[in-house]
Amino acid sequence: MTSEGFAGGRAASAPLMGHETEPTMFELSVPGRSAVQLRTTGLAERPMSEFLGPEHLRDTPVVLANLSERDLVGHFTRLSARQFSVDLGAYPLGSCTMKYNPKFCDAVAGDPALNSVHPGAPAALSQGWLELLVSLEEKLCDITGMAAATLQPAAGAAGELTGLLLMRAYHASRSDVRRRVIIPDSAHGTNPASVTLGGYEVTTVPSNERGLVDLDALRAALGPDVAGIMLTNPNTVGLFEEEIEEIAAAVHEVGGLLYYDGANLNAIVGVVRPGDMGFDIVHMNLHKTFATPHGGGGPGAGPVAVSARLADFLPGPKAARAADGTFEWRRPARSIGRVHGWHGNALVLARALAYIDVHGADGLPRVAQHAVLNANWLRQRLREVLPAAYDRPCMHEAVLTASSLKAETGARGLDVAKALLDEGFHAPTVYFPLIVDEALMFEPTETESPQTLEALAQALERIVAQARQDAQILQHAPYHTPVSRVDEARAARQLVSTEDAALR
Ligand SMILES: Cc1ncc(COP(=O)(O)O)c(C=O)c1O
């Protein structure tokens, strides 16, 4: 070995250190390498045009990375070791309910008896799956206080659109033309987007000084052209809408429907039911409350449950119990059609059923109670460090504000969140809800212990003390993560697609 070779750097496959970057798959690519060995049939040597018409053939070969299985496993394992995850530590990302979930649920989803069944298999050959879907639908209806549900929507926002299409179908069936949907100003951005996609106009109602829907402003906004209202309860400020019964009565009085955005169901699961509050349509984010970790974009599931008067409009086909006790696919009488290519993200549905069953009727309320207790403990513990936006008991998330810290030291909420990464905690949600200045939204969830919450509080105390001493240092945090402060707007403004990157 020459001395040059000896000093020639680390092997491409060595574990990454500090700020080193992992090469892209294209940079690791070696021509001719492959992760699969296909059986030689002789077909590959024959020209493609023997099998496909010219309109289906590409002019140029597709650019793909050539990697062995070994290369791929190394690449993704090295990348995964640079990530923060719920398995590694606390992930208090408000409104997202990023909680640790029992590995049992993953084991269920990994069972080949479930995951080797094709969704197009005839009902007679997939009775177990149909029973699972029926059982999940029944349990979700029990939890929400609704009559029937669709399991098809693939995420919360897909559930919202489904719910709005159901609202539209319901009003259309009564030849009742309505134009507007009401949304509070604290709502998640997907709500107004779904309203627009559903063909309605958004009317925004302001929150009052207590962070709740301003009932007088709502009453003033209501009219015969209002199709419904979209609400999440507890709302995105983490507060329970105490006047929900008055809100429901006012909306129903003008013939509107109440849509429940179930992103915050973790706060009330097993304790209070949206159906009992007066809601007509409810979506649930199974990937939040019921067991699927959802970092990195999915997969998720956003089932929509409805009251009896909307059941006939649900997407179909739906798994249903036949008169002879077997299970079959059935299309609701006035179905709006499909909202998913098949029956929904099936393994997320299987995880959710496992989660509900493993907790049982006694365990589910404890999920909500501990989530609320943890958030209030943190809010109270941080009282002198970062005050709550609204000084009163919260539900499952504590919305704090760095407004006075910024005025005093110049350190922003973003700086505090980034500095938390150096302390070994995932950053909270920042600058949401929009109605809170310098918002830091902590959702500790029920799965974190008092010791972890105390460590989180101490980390925040250190960060705030640092801000008071020298806030400039925080402006460049984090310092100890594989990637430090990035320009968050640039990626969206100067998009480099993967294919461009490969061709460079
Ligand atoms: C209040 C609220 N509504 C809706 C959504 C949308 O859910 P999804 O991300 O599953 O589409 C979210 C997501 O965080 C949310 O927090």
Sheet containing strand 398-401, edge to edge, reads 398-401, 439-442, 429-430
Shortest CA distance to 344 belongs to which of 264, 283, 274, 259? 283
Say yes or no to pLDDT of 224 above 70.
yes
Q: What is the pLDDT of residue 85?
A: 86
Can you give the pTM of this predicted structure? 0.90
Q: What is the pLDDT of residue 11?
A: 52
Say yes or no to pLDDT of 36 above 50.
yes
Q: What is the pLDDT of residue 121?
A: 96
Residues 188, 262: contact at Cβ < 8 Å? no
Between the CA of 375 and the centroid of ligand 1 the distance, in Å, is: 19
What single letter denotes the amino acid at residue 441? M
Residues 159, 282: contact at Cβ < 8 Å? no
Nearest CA to ligand 1 atom 8: 156
Backbone angles phi, psi at 305, to 5 degrees: -110, 145
Counting every residue written for the chain, the total comes to 504
Q: What is the pLDDT of residue 500?
A: 57
97 pocket-lining for ligand 1 (C-beta < 6 Å)? no
190 pocket-lining for ligand 1 (C-beta < 6 Å)? yes
Range ranked top by mean pLDDT from 296-310, 416-430, 477-491: 416-430
Q: What is the pLDDT of residue 503?
A: 54
CA distance 30 to 118: 35
Between the CA of 471 and the centroid of ligand 1 the distance, in Å, is: 33
Among 33-37, 73-77, 152-156, the minimum mean pLDDT is found in 33-37
Eight-state DSSP code of residue 207: B
429 pocket-lining for ligand 1 (C-beta < 6 Å)? no
159 or 484, which is more confident: 159
The residues spanned by each domain of the chain are: 1-82, 108-114+123-358
150 pocket-lining for ligand 1 (C-beta < 6 Å)? no
SS (H, E, C) 75-137: HHHHHHHCCCCCCCCCCCECCCCCCCCCHHHHHHHCCHHHHCCCCCCCHHHCHHHHHHHHHHH
Say yes or no to pLDDT of 40 above 90.
no
Q: What is the pLDDT of residue 19?
A: 58
Q: What is the pLDDT of residue 117?
A: 95
Say yes or no to pLDDT of 496 above 90.
no
Say yes or no to pLDDT of 7 above 70.
no
pLDDT, tens digit, 9 for 90 and up, residues 383-396 = 999 999 999 999 99
Say yes or no to pLDDT of 4 above 50.
no
CATH top class, domain 108-114+123-358: alpha beta
Between the CA of 120 and the centroid of ligand 1 the distance, in Å, is: 29
* Exposed/middle/buried for residue 156 (C-beta within 10 Å: 0-12, 13-18, 19+): buried
* Exposed/middle/buried for residue 252 (C-beta within 10 Å: 0-12, 13-18, 19+): middle
Between the CA of 301 and the centroid of ligand 1 the distance, in Å, is: 11
Say yes or no to pLDDT of 1 above 50.
no
CA distance 496 to 346: 33
Q: CA 417, 421, 425: angle at the middle one, nearest 5?
A: 95
User: What six digits make up the tokens of 142?
Assistant: 């029990």
Q: What is the pLDDT of residue 9?
A: 44
CA distance 462 to 385: 10
Residues 95, 443: contact at Cβ < 8 Å? yes
Q: What is the pLDDT of residue 3?
A: 33
Mutation pick for ligand 1 pocket among 98, 285, 429, 445 (CB with most ligand atoms within 8 Å) = 285
Q: pLDDT band for 499, please (50, 70, 90 cuts).
A: low
Say yes or no to pLDDT of 295 above 80.
no
Between the CA of 64 and the centroid of ligand 1 the distance, in Å, is: 34
Share of residues in the chain with pLDDT > 70 (%) = 94
Mean pLDDT of the chain: 92
Q: pLDDT band for 502, please (50, 70, 90 cuts).
A: low
Q: pLDDT band for 263, please (50, 70, 90 cuts).
A: very high
433 pocket-lining for ligand 1 (C-beta < 6 Å)? no
Mean pLDDT of 157-163: 97
> What is the position in ligand 1's atom list of the atom closest to the CA of 159?
11
pLDDT, tens digit, 9 for 90 and up, residues 441-488 = 999 999 999 999 999 999 999 999 999 999 999 999 999 998 889 888
Between the CA of 124 and the centroid of ligand 1 the distance, in Å, is: 36
Say yes or no to pLDDT of 44 above 80.
no
> What is the position in ligand 1's atom list of the atom closest to the CA of 285?
10
270 pocket-lining for ligand 1 (C-beta < 6 Å)? no
Mean pLDDT of 342-354: 95
Q: What is the pLDDT of residue 2?
A: 32
Q: What is the pLDDT of residue 15?
A: 53
261 pocket-lining for ligand 1 (C-beta < 6 Å)? yes
Sorted by sequence, the CB contacts under 8 Å of residue 467 that are 6+ apart come out as 405, 409, 410, 411, 415, 416, 474
Q: Do β-strands 180-184 and 201-205 pair in parallel, antiparallel, or remain unpaired? A: parallel
Mutation pick for ligand 1 pocket among 161, 185, 188, 237 (CB with most ligand atoms within 8 Å) = 188
Mutation pick for ligand 1 pocket among 190, 231, 265, 396 (CB with most ligand atoms within 8 Å) = 190
Among 120-134, 236-250, 451-465, 481-495, the minimum mean pLDDT is found in 481-495
Shortest CA distance to 192 belongs to which of 152, 154, 164, 221? 164
Q: Is the sign of the CA dihedral 399, 375, 90, 187 positive or negative?
A: negative
Between the CA of 9 and the centroid of ligand 1 the distance, in Å, is: 45
> What is the position in ligand 1's atom list of the atom closest to the CA of 96?
14
Mean pLDDT of 165-172: 98
Question: Exposed e or buried b for every residue in 267-302, given b needs 16+ CB within 10 A?
Answer: bbbbebbbbebbbbbbbbbbbbbbbbbbeeeebbbb
Between the CA of 189 and the centroid of ligand 1 the distance, in Å, is: 8
Q: What is the pLDDT of residue 291?
A: 87
* Exposed/middle/buried for residue 187 (C-beta within 10 Å: 0-12, 13-18, 19+): buried
Between the CA of 71 and the centroid of ligand 1 the distance, in Å, is: 36
